[in-house]
Every structure is written in structure tokens, then in C-alpha cells.
Chains A and B, each alone.
Chain A
């Protein structure tokens, strides 16, 4: 780790003040280290030291990735980060440097990296029985299914376990199509639901859609309060769904699928009033309403446990993944007994789905969320963080919008506040600089100009301050 002498500090400060007038993207703030006395905001203290890392270097890994992994596999940052250890809301690189994880492995690590209760559950179960399939009984799957069902409103109490969000959404779409006997499904532009054939159709951003047949999906106008043509008038947007059905389908459809807050799409919270209006339209057309809770679920929105609850609706099918297992490969579909019965027509089987280790981890996650009051924390810290970010927005024209709920927040950067021109390059630069300062955020939005802040739910106010201060510090020097 580098240490800074007072002289170097003064020198860099001087350099920075010269640069303030220029719009260039060269190195700005000096490296901020864990317990430094250097310039810039400090990462909150944390009592944990990772074991020393003796594995392959970043360069070695990069060259192996180039040779043996997908050529389309991307990394964040101009100099990719070699992350080797994680503890609660922090990650450690190969040099032992600590970073604030404000992205949560893409809204996935909800309790915290290597949370002791979750790790204990995983380790104990792995030592006993990793896998046997549901052909035999095991209490873990039954206990977790019960606990999960108890978290859902209405008659949503039959659970199907899968291994990912994509698998969960694929199953949900198939169930809707089988139940209704119709093929058409409506999703929202800018949505992300997965990468397999059905879900690729529901996903609505060209960068994620390959040139293959994706049939039976219609994409509705996105009820985007910031960029959408109707602003925050949810009901106006809902009329587009009605039109899609009346003019683009037989009048009867299989269903509607949406996220309560679009994740990959840039933390866009659906305009208020949209979902209730759309759900009503869908029901009239005989369709089922699917709520994709892969990112917004599991207490992340703070105010309520599920994202859809914030919109005052009760879906027919709920899909989940990511946070459900704090990072273990697990997904689930929950629906009513009536709808679930369609799968009895033939056999649906998922070999790994519902295995003892993953379901034990899932149950541990639910217990941690309750015991540590993570939903409340997400609300309190999230509200605080959003306030601070909003203050930052008032300070800098570069920040076009601050939105989201709880610990699912987005910061959209624009180079022109009126035209809302996406500030793509600035976003990349700031993101890189944030990493240099010790904060890891995510990126999203169709234009790649939105910071996605979806940390582990144990994120504190001090962490929030550090994040905002770092951002402030960096933007001030641009």
C-alpha cells in the first residue's frame, strides 16, 4: 500500500486545482488507502483483515480469461480489479486493499459477503448432504419453501426452485402461457428479464438481444418518470398496454411481466399508478401478472419487503433470484396453487433446483434479514443516502436525476440538464475514479450513464457518507 507524505499531498492538490478548469479525464485524486491520512474522504473503519493472497495475479487471470472464456466477457474499469475476499459490505483486492461494495455483486449479496450465519448454514449443510434431488425428501427445501411462501401476500404459496433469475422467468412465462392457452406476453421497454430464449424476448434493450427468433412478446412504452413522454403519469402509460392488446394480439394474452424498479435499465422506478392500471387491463384480457423481483425483492426497497408491494398490487406469479441466497446460485418462482397445477399436465424437473445447500442458505438469508432488521436499515440508510445524493444533484449540473428506493438507488449523469444528453464518458471516468478512491458502484441504463447503487443491506450511514463524499470529491475536480 502506498503512503503519502505531506509534500506529495500538497503537490497533488496543486495539480488538481490547475485541472479544475479543464475538462479532461486524466488521473485526479491520489489513491486513498484504508487507514490513510491522505487527501479525500476516508473509507469507514472495519475490523477485519483478509488472509494474504498468494494466487495468480490480475494479469495472469486476464490472459487466461482471454484465452479460455467468452470473448464477450467484460470487466468494469480500465484496469480490472482482482477481487479475492469479501466481508459484509466490503471487498478486498489481491493486495489486501479494502473497497466499499456499493454494487453488491449486482444487487445479489444482500446480507453481506461471507455473512457468518449464512456461511455457517452453507458449510454445515455441505458437510452433510450437497445434493440428492427432490426424488427423495429433505427438510431443507420444505422449510425454505414454507418460509418464503409466508413472506408473500394473497394466495402466493407454491414455490418452484430454479438456479437463476433467467430460469425463474422462463418458467414463469411458460406457466402463464400454459395456464391461459395464449402465447402473447407484454413486457416493458428497457426491461431485463434474462438471457434464454423466452426471457430474451421479454428483455427489451437491443444490446442484450441476439438476432434469433423471440416470438410472442410485445414491448410497452416505459413508464419512466425521468425520460418518459408522460412524465410520472402512470395511467397514461398504461393505455399503451391496452392498445398493444387491442391491436397487436387476439385480445387475450398470456400475461405481463415487469420489474418494480428496473435494474439493468438504470434503476427506473415505474411511474406511480402504472402497475395497478396495467394489472387491471391484463386481468381483463385473461392474462397473468408476473412480478420480477430478482433485484427489488428481499427487503432491498426498505419500505416494503417486495418491490411490487410499493405499487399496491398483488401479482399472480413472483420470480426471484440474486439476493435470495446472498450469492449462492438459486432462483424461485412463487404462484398460487391454482396456477401451479398447470405443470401437472406433464413433468417439470430441475435437477439442481431446491438442493439442500442452496435452500438452507436461502432460509438463513431470510432469518438474517429479519434478525438484523435489514429491511429497516435499507429504509433508513437508503433514505439518508438518497437525500445526500439529491443534495449533490443540486450542487452539480452533471447529475440529472437521483431516484430509487431504499438501497436500490440510481444516479443518472447528463451533460445537458434540459436535453438530458447522457454523459457516458463522464460516467465511466467517475466510476473509475470512485474505484481509485475505494468505492465500487455499478453502471446501467440504456446509455450506460446511470450509477447503480445496490449494496449489501448492512450498508451504514458512514458508508453512505463515504460514497457521496467520494463522488463529490471527484466531480468537483472535473
Chain B
């Protein structure tokens, strides 16, 4: 009898062990591939058993009495078309935001680690920016630049002061796409050449022309693009030349010498590719390429839509991290903390070609957006957001690198300041993108209260680009949540 009891006890224990064993192959949610993961050989930490908690935050969202998520989703499907996609299998109804946090319809708080795609730079409903917007909206929303107004002039001046070299003529538009369209027009007019060069894996916009510059098939409709050359991406993680900038730069030279008349209109690049998965260009790349492009008569355009405004921590502008001064700089997203605003800054010389004809933007530079933009610049300076990004960013990256040692699924941790990417792979040698796992972890993070972004051509990169008021506690929470989610995979 005792032996039977012992046998039963033993089998029960073994069963229990099997259930909680880290070598367990779980039934994953219905996804394309069912890759199995190597077991983590390290010992379990406290984070693996207990889900981490959001840092405290002294704010109560207003009660929400509007339509439910299901009602909204039904309306979206009917009136916004099937092409309008959304995150998460059960989409999130976000009704309120405060600094680095967002609230859903039930009042639950989430850490916003994506900032509405790197757009809410100072923080949701930041009081100073809110005040500027509200006060100006009460006075004058719109009159256009055919009349004078101080807001556009003051903002242009403040923006120009942030720029190096002779970059001081500002054009205001309403989005990043509009800004890059204008930059491309300027380049072609100024040089009299047609050919534009952009990097594979880049994203520069969704309009019919900027689709040409964008180099990720997900976003490219089959339409004529004009003369655009997509050069090899100086991707330190996946690129064939690793971090060897010179070899990548030579490729640009080849494109020009073999694929063009020898003269080009211009070159455009993000310093850290955003949509492409937080890929930081190999160090020294831009310096060499700018040289090559200028020798071919072209102008150099820096797309600062995501990297600008102190986000990289070490510098105010992304291009500064590569030690170059572009001829044209485009910006949007964070420029207005969420206001529909974009800008192009260039030299008086290049701007003068635009004076041949009339180019007018009805909404561009309107008083409200200009007031908001100016408030953003002030907040970034006053609250020392750039230094903060450097500080919190390095802490975050440090912790993520430790996490990389613990979990094999993390293939790469990269970025600078608060523009960080985590690339997930199922095989560290082959660097096989861990698409399914990324999707699962993405959902899990949401459940734990962290909203991250996703990117990369294979959708296997987490993009961590929060409002720049993100704290070290927030960073810890994010990493702990990721640790927890990965341990449960």
C-alpha cells in the first residue's frame, strides 16, 4: 500500500514538475511558425514568477462614457476601410493620455513606450504645450501666411537656432511625407538632376513620391517612382559588411557611376531607421557618403522625423551623431508633440530656387501649430530632455543588454538615447527573424501594461521610443515585463 502511495506521489510530482519545467513546449497561439526555443539555462529570478508593477503615477483619468471598443471597431471596418490596420488581436481603445502613460476605456493605465510612433515627444497632454495650444486656439486658429502672425516667425527663428551651419530657412508643412516631398523637390530643382538615392530599409513617407524613397515592400504600392536608387543598407547587425562603413559607401559610389549620368539630385537617410527597426547606420557612413554625393553634384537630406529633438540623447539631431551637416533637414512627428506639423530647413542658397514659382501650403505654419511647436522646443530645453534621454537611454540599453545575455531570443539590442530597438531571432547564428514570438511577446507586453512598437521588414523588432519624460523606473518596469514575458514563452 505504502509503495502504491509513493508511486502515485512520485508520478504526481513528476507531472507537476513537467508542468513547471522551463523545457516545456507550450501550445502557442495560432501563428504561422511554431519554432521551438532553446531552454534558458540560467536560474529563474523573482521576475519570472511575479509580473512586475507599473511605477506609481499620481493622476486620475476622467471617466469614459463614450462608445466601446467593439462599437468603434465596427464603425472603423465600415467607414474607414479594410486597409486601416491596428495593433493587437483585441485592439486597445485609448481614450486619454498623460505624460508617458495612456489610459484605456476602463481607466487602466499603460506605459506608452512607443509615443504614438515616436511622436509624443514631451509627454501626452504636457501642461505647457497644452496651455500654448489652448490659448492660441482661442485667439486665432487659422488665417494663412498671406497675413503676418508672430507665431510662425518666432517658431521658425527658434528652430533655425537649433541648426548648425547655414541651415536657417524654414518651410512649414503638415506631415513628414509632405516634408520629404518638398525636400526632394528642392534637391531636384537645385541640382537640375533627377536621381535620388535612399537606403534599403528606409521609410520616408506614404505619398506617391515618397513611396519611391521608402524602401520596404510593405509600404510600396506598384506605381511609377521616377529615378530612385536604393543602396545597400549599412546595417551593423544584418548588413553583409557589418559595421564597415567604407565598404557600404563604395556601393553608393558604384550606384552613381554605373546607374546614373554621374550626377545626382540628392541622397536622403534617417540616422537611425525607424520603421525599419531602429537600425543605426554604421558609424562613419554618412561622412563618406555625403562626400561622394556632393562630388556628384547632389545635396544631402537628413530625415530627422524620428531621431530629431534630442531623442538620441548624445545630440539634438540624429545627423550630429555621424558628425555631418546636411543641406536639407526634414522633421515632423515629435516637432509638435502630436500636432499635425512638419518642417523642412535648408540653406538660403537652396531656398532661393524655390522662389522661381509659387509654392504655398494653406495650413502650414498656422498659429496654433506654430505656438505648439515653440512650446515643445522650450519644454525640451527647460526640462533638459536631451540629457534625460542620454541618461535613461543608457540605463535602458544597459538593462536590455543584460537581458540579451539571459534570453537567446534577443538577437540584437541597439539604438541611442530613447530610440531603442530589440531584434528577436530564433537562431543567433542564422539570425532567423522570430516573427511569431515577437507577435506573442507584443501581446503579452500589452497585457502586462506596456505598449511597445514593432518594426523591421520581418516585424521582429521591438521599437522602444517613448515620450522623453520616460523615467528609469519606467525603463526597469519595461525590462522586467519583457523578462517576465520571455520567461513564460
Contacts and interface: CB of A to CB of B under 8 A. Distances in A.
A72 B358 contact: yes
B109 interface: no
B371 to A, nearest CB: 11
A6 interface: no
A350 interface: yes
17 contacts: A64-B157, A69-B145, A69-B171, A70-B171, A76-B147, A83-B148, A127-B134, A136-B102, A163-B178, A164-B364, A166-B178, A178-B221, A195-B360, A212-B185, A212-B189, A351-B116, A352-B175
Contacts of B86: 134-137
Nearest to B194: A213
Interface stretch (A308-316, A320-328, A422-430, A462-470): A320-328
B62 A163 contact: no
B226 interface: yes
Given A61-B149, A210-B185, A213-B194, A86 B75 contact: no
B209 to A, nearest CB: 4
A183 interface: yes
A145 B74 CA distance: 12
B337 to A, nearest CB: 7
Instruction: Report the contact-size class of chain A (Cβ under 8 Å from the partner).
Output: 35 or more
Contact of A345 (B146, B207, B221, B348): B221
Contacts of B156: 64-65, 68-69
Nearest to B62: A128
B82 A69 contact: no
B217 interface: yes
Interface of B: 62, 66-67, 69, 71-73, 75-76, 78-87, 91-97, 102, 116-117, 119-120, 124-125, 130, 133-134, 137-150, 152-154, 156-157, 159-160, 168-171, 173-178, 181-182, 184-185, 188-189, 194, 206-209, 217-224, 226, 332-333, 337-341, 348, 351-352, 354-366, 368-369, 451
B178 A64 contact: no
Contacts of B138: 114, 119, 123
A58 interface: yes
Contacts of B148: 58, 61-62, 65, 75, 80-83
Contact of A129 (B84, B117, B125, B133): B125
Given A130-B339, A134-B86, A86 B139 contact: yes
Contacts of B218: 346-347
A85 to B, nearest CB: 5
A337 B359 CA distance: 34
Given A138-B72, A164-B361, A197-B209, 18 more contacts: A56-B150, A69-B145, A85-B140, A108-B142, A126-B125, A128-B95, A131-B338, A163-B363, A174-B208, A195-B359, A195-B361, A197-B185, A208-B357, A211-B189, A345-B221, A347-B83, A351-B117, A353-B175
Kindly list the 4 A-B residue pairs having the minimum CB-CB distance in the complex, ordered from nearest: A327-B142, A131-B338, A142-B75, A343-B83
B97 A346 contact: no
Interface of A: 50-51, 55-56, 58, 60-62, 64-65, 67-76, 80-86, 91, 105-106, 108-109, 113-114, 119, 122-123, 126-139, 141-143, 145-146, 148-149, 157-160, 162-167, 170-171, 173-174, 177-178, 183, 195-198, 206-213, 215-216, 321-322, 326-330, 337, 340-341, 343-355, 358
Given A130-B339, A131-B119, A163-B340, A68 B153 contact: yes
Contact of A133 (B95, B116, B337, B369): B116
B130 A126 contact: yes
B150 to A, nearest CB: 5
B356 to A, nearest CB: 7
A131 B116 contact: yes
A72 B340 contact: no
Interface centre among B116, B148, B217 (most CB of A within 10 A): B148
A130 B208 contact: no
Contacts of A211: 189, 356
Nearest to B176: A351
B67 A139 contact: yes
A129 B150 CA distance: 27
Contacts of B352: 71
Contacts of A166: 178, 361
Given A137-B72, A163-B174, A196-B209, A341 B142 contact: no
A109 B217 CA distance: 39
Given A75-B145, A132-B94, A167-B207, A329 B363 contact: yes
Contacts of A349: 206, 219
B189 A68 contact: no
Contacts of A352: 119, 174-175, 332, 338-340
